[in-house]
Amino acid sequence: MDTRTGVALVGAGAFGQFCLKTFAAMPEVQIVAVADIDSGRAREQAALYGARAYGNLADLLANVDVTIVALNTPPYLHHAQGLATLRAGKHLFCEKPLALTEAEAAALIRAADEHGVLLTVDYVMRHNPFWAAAAALRESGVLGALRHMDLANHAAGLDLPDDHWFWAPEKSGGIWIEHGVHFFDAFAWVAGQPGEITASQAFARPGGVIDRVEALACYGRTAAHFYHAFDQSGATEQTTVTLTFEHGYVTLREWVPTSLELLTPVPPDGWQTLLPGEVTLAPQPDGRFHAVARAPEGKSAVYRASIQAGLRNLVRAIQGQEPLRVTGQEGLDSLAMACRAQALAARPGR
Ligand SMILES: NC(=O)c1ccc[n+]([C@@H]2O[C@H](COP(=O)([O-])OP(=O)(O)OC[C@H]3O[C@@H](n4cnc5c(N)ncnc54)[C@H](O)[C@@H]3O)[C@@H](O)[C@H]2O)c1
């Protein structure tokens, strides 16, 4: 008997195709269906995995082999398609953002409860070993209090054509909702408590769309700063997260981090076991320690493993083997921060 969990993917675009390839390598799931409004694309992708192709969601939801729907359509469709999925008794692996508004996200959470199914959001950082190490360092208290978290995200917006849904706020929700949610959630995880936005601003291209946003927040007594710019190309993009502790600095580089750097006066026996991958350690002339933990397998492998870990967690949660690592409520909390940042920055500056 085939004990694999049947997964359907809806929205076989750029990221959907990456997810299909990624899911196909998981022994515990089987891709049973692929839907896309572009039925040729659905057929082509379904054929690669021996799955059934669908041109619409309603027909796919009638397929009894589908246990989980991975929703990879643009953000403005997540609410309606997510609701249809949950009401059909299917579990939801939702791409971020969970929805465009807090009311829509709350409706999805209610629908999951009412229909006795689970929903989670594909927040890949929650399954990244270097983000997990940052959270473990904070939780251990070995570096003292977490004072400040800083994100500088210079992303490849120049590679997105002007008519891409990303630039249309009614489709993407805007930068905070489409992309910021990842980091609002990751910072809450690292800080161990929810955050609150205190200030926000936005910058538009000359005569054009908003392509840079910035906000201040606090997570309890930890201050936070977020800067998202979609004004770089794939060749020049760069993401840096700096966490400042009472006794040390932690740096994560790149949007999918493959390394973590730590500079601290605290001796390694207090924190070395919390670092993943290959660790190099160099005592500094000033008496501090500089450690770098690296994933030798590279970015694509780390990214795929993070997506797989999220789907695997949902499969195990459905089977009652473990709790969800990313709950619907956490999807809503991070979305609420994004909506607040959006509202505070409603009047673009400069
Ligand atoms: N978690 C991550 O790391 C990550 C990374 C990239 C993108 N994403 C998210 O994935 C989602 C998709 O992004 P993308 O870059 O792949 O977009 P995309 O535009 O490349 O793909 C979207 C696909 O959905 C299809 N589609 C549109 N309307 C549809 C409908 N009504 N029914 C079925 N299919 C429909 C389109 O034809 C297209 O194939 C977004 O929510 C995005 O935020 C998440």
Reported as a single tens digit per residue, the pLDDT across 135-174 is 999 999 999 999 999 999 999 999 999 999 999 999 999 9
Under the banding of pLDDT at 50, 70 and 90, the label for residue 343 is very high
Do 38 and 112 fall into the same domain? yes
| Cβ pair 157, 231 in contact under 8 A | yes
User: Helix crossing, 78-87 with 102-114: angle to 10°?
Assistant: 10
Do 197 and 276 fall into the same domain? yes
Reported as a single tens digit per residue, the pLDDT across 216-275 is 999 999 999 999 999 999 999 999 999 999 999 999 999 999 999 999 999 999 999 999
pLDDT above 60: residue 350: no
52 contact partners, CB below 8 Å, separation of at least 6:
32, 33, 34, 46, 60, 63
Q: Which two tokens stand for residue 16?
A: 């959907």
Q: Is residue 34 part of a domain?
A: yes
For 170, other C-beta atoms within 10 Å of its C-beta total: 10
Q: Is residue 231 part of a domain?
A: yes
Q: Is residue 264 part of a domain?
A: yes
Whose C-alpha lies nearest to ligand 1, atom 31?
37
Q: Which two tokens stand for residue 336?
A: 């609420």
* Ligand 1, CB cutoff 6 Å, lining residues: 10-16, 35-38, 41, 57, 72-75, 77, 95-96, 122, 124, 178
Do 103 and 139 fall into the same domain? no
Whose C-alpha lies nearest to ligand 1, atom 24?
11
Do 129 and 225 fall into the same domain? yes
Do 110 and 132 fall into the same domain? no
Do 208 and 177 fall into the same domain? yes
Q: Is residue 310 part of a domain?
A: no
Q: Is residue 79 part of a domain?
A: yes
Reported as a single tens digit per residue, the pLDDT across 60-80 is 999 999 999 999 999 999 999
How high is the pLDDT of residue 149? 98
**Where a domain ends, among 89, 124, 159?**
124
- Residue type present at position 8: A
Peptide bond connecting 276 to the previous residue in cis, omega within 30 degrees of 0: no
CA of 310 to the centre of ligand 1 (A): 18
**Where a domain ends, among 64, 96, 124?**
124
| Cβ pair 340, 197 in contact under 8 A | yes
Q: Which two tokens stand for residue 69?
A: 């729907």
CA of 93 to the centre of ligand 1 (A): 13
Give just the sign of the alpha carbon dihedral 322, 300, 292, 124.
Answer: negative
Do 160 and 295 fall into the same domain? yes
Under the banding of pLDDT at 50, 70 and 90, the label for residue 197 is very high
Mean pLDDT for 201-210 is 90
**Partners of 242 in the β-ladder:** 150, 251
CA of 36 to the centre of ligand 1 (A): 10
How high is the pLDDT of residue 346? 75
Q: Which two tokens stand for residue 210?
A: 């908003």
- Ligand 1 pocket check: which of 10, 15, 22, 39 to mutate, most ligand atoms within 8 Å of Cβ? 15
Q: Which two tokens stand for residue 330?
A: 């956490």
Q: Is residue 307 part of a domain?
A: no
Domain containing 171 — which CATH number? 3.30.360.10
**Where a domain ends, among 124, 157, 180?**
124
How high is the pLDDT of residue 163? 93
Do 119 and 235 fall into the same domain? no
CA of 146 to the centre of ligand 1 (A): 35
Edge-to-edge strands of the sheet including 210-219?
196-204, 210-219, 222-229, 146-154, 238-245, 248-253, 259-264, 289-294, 278-283
CA of 18 to the centre of ligand 1 (A): 11
Residue written as token pair 């979305």? 335
- What number does the ligand 1 atom closest to the CA of 17 have? 16
φ/ψ bin of 289: left (φ > 0), alpha (ψ from -120 to 50), beta (otherwise): beta
Number of domains in the chain: 2
Do 76 and 143 fall into the same domain? no
Q: Which two tokens stand for residue 122?
A: 């594909």
Under the banding of pLDDT at 50, 70 and 90, the label for residue 348 is low
Do 245 and 105 fall into the same domain? no
Whose C-alpha lies nearest to ligand 1, atom 21?
13
**What range does the domain containing 62 cover?**
5-124
Whose C-alpha lies nearest to ligand 1, atom 40?
74
| Cβ pair 215, 345 in contact under 8 A | yes
Do 39 and 50 fall into the same domain? yes
